[in-house]
Amino acid sequence: MKRNKILVFFWLLCSFLSSSFAEQEKERLEILNYGLEGDIKVFLVALKTEKNSEYNKEIEQLFSRTTNINILQAIIQYALETRWDDFKKIVFSNSEKLDKMSLSAKLSIISLIGELKWLEAEETLNLWSDGKDKTLALASLRTLGRLGSPSAGNKLMEKLKDPELDPNFRGDLFWALGELKYQPGFDELKSALDDIGTSALLKRIILEALGKMKHPEGGKAILPFLNDTNVLLRAEAVKSMASYPLEADLNQFYKEGLRDSEASVRIAAAEALISNKIPDFVDILEYRIRKDPDLKVRSAAMKALLNQDELEGKKFLIGIIQEGKVDIPTWKLALGMAMEWPETVSSLEVLVEKEIKNQTSGFVGEIANIYGFRKQVGLEKLYTLLLGSKNAGIKSVVLRGIQLNSMVNMRELVRKTTEDPVLANQAKKVLETLVVTPEIPLSENINSPEVK
């Protein structure tokens, strides 16, 4: 009798769920067919969150029939965020609809083309790049570069040599040739770079393009700009020379770059050392980390140090974290890079113990705020030390961390946190969540009267 009741219950439950799912599907289809644009936007966000592609056919149909600019834009954005590759079939099946779209919708489609590498869109991009709308034309030219199509390179060169070309387009054409790594375009880039009439802005774009192109002669073209008086050109040259590590003895160039008066040049030199291993840079990188006035330089130098000598880099950053002798922004940068290292927590324990003993609070609050909101094993000792602080705010954050990490073994310490009424109340609530569940012996489970 009891078993029959259970079967009836499950049958009713399944019927209810089936009915609920059917109702939900009907409601969703109604939104696509009759909903306001705001409803459709919310629905598309929900589908993206669910990673649900079951309604893509209906979304295609909506895209084909609607003339609402905001709905079109929302569908394009949905396709971009979900990387919906088959969406290209519906986009390019109706050229008349495509032409009538707003500029913002066309720009969204261009983003989609570049992100998903739709080679089928090359003809459309060529058409738009010849149009009167400069914004659309420039976006189309850049995306032609991102596609990596050989024929796109030829088309870009044709545009570059066109005597009626708008001079404002040259930079985007050079940039696109660099993206394509289009080797036949080198001579055109080199000629413009050497031309005294070429603006500094355009030369910077060319230097960037040469760095991406990696042409056999590219390094020689870039070298003279390593000492240019224009800081932007100098920085771009330092950055681009990373693509030509064998072109010259770059050791001295990068050391000069790391000592340049301009932060952008120092950043470029450090970033070049992130991708290239060159001997004898550990000391100067460590100096930059400790002494550079620019936080972005310090960040790039940390990454470069780890690339040049990972073992020494880890040791140095752990030392920074443990000693606490640098400014807080630099210390937080080091901690951010070392967060997943097994030795990091023990180095923090040393720092917390020292600060609490000396009754200083330079880093204790920072540590509490970071690790009080972090789910991680092995934080018991760190939390115990932090609870030794006299700061109620720090203790409150630590109690939250104990609760977040379900640290049942810290119940006794939580129970003793009663020196402040607010803390005592919080501790009481935390204790209510730290419940020890008694284990039922296997033999009792088997013989339980509930299991038949």
Phi-psi region of 96 (alpha: psi -120 to 50; beta: other; left: phi over 0): alpha
pLDDT one-digit tens code per residue, 21-64: 567 778 888 888 888 888 888 888 888 888 888 888 888 888 88
Integer Cα distance of 437 and 435 in angstroms: 6
Integer Cα distance of 72 and 64 in angstroms: 9
Integer Cα distance of 153 and 144 in angstroms: 8
Residues with Cβ within 8 Å of residue 304, at least 6 apart in sequence: 270, 271, 273, 274, 281, 285
Integer Cα distance of 182 and 154 in angstroms: 9
Q: How confident is the model at residue 6 (pLDDT cuts 50, 70, 90)?
A: low
Write down the domain spans for the chain: 31-116
pLDDT one-digit tens code per residue, 270-290: 999 998 888 889 999 999 999
pLDDT one-digit tens code per residue, 355-399: 998 887 789 999 999 999 999 999 999 999 999 999 999 999 999
DSSP string, 166-182: -GGGHHHHHHHHHHHT-
Integer Cα distance of 150 and 157 in angstroms: 11
Which residue is associated with the tokens 């006299």? Answer: 390
DSSP string, 378-413: S-HHHHHHHTTSS-HHHHHHHHHHHHHTT-GGGHHH
Integer Cα distance of 81 and 340 in angstroms: 29
Q: Which residues of 176-193 are buried (b: 16+ CB within 10 A; e: fewer)?
A: bbbbbebeebbebbbebb
Integer Cα distance of 125 and 138 in angstroms: 10
Residue 436 φ then ψ, to 5°: -85, 115
Per DSSP, 339 falls in state T
pLDDT one-digit tens code per residue, 122-179: 888 888 888 878 888 888 888 888 887 767 788 888 888 888 888 888 998 899 899 8
Residues with Cβ within 8 Å of residue 138, at least 6 apart in sequence: 169, 172
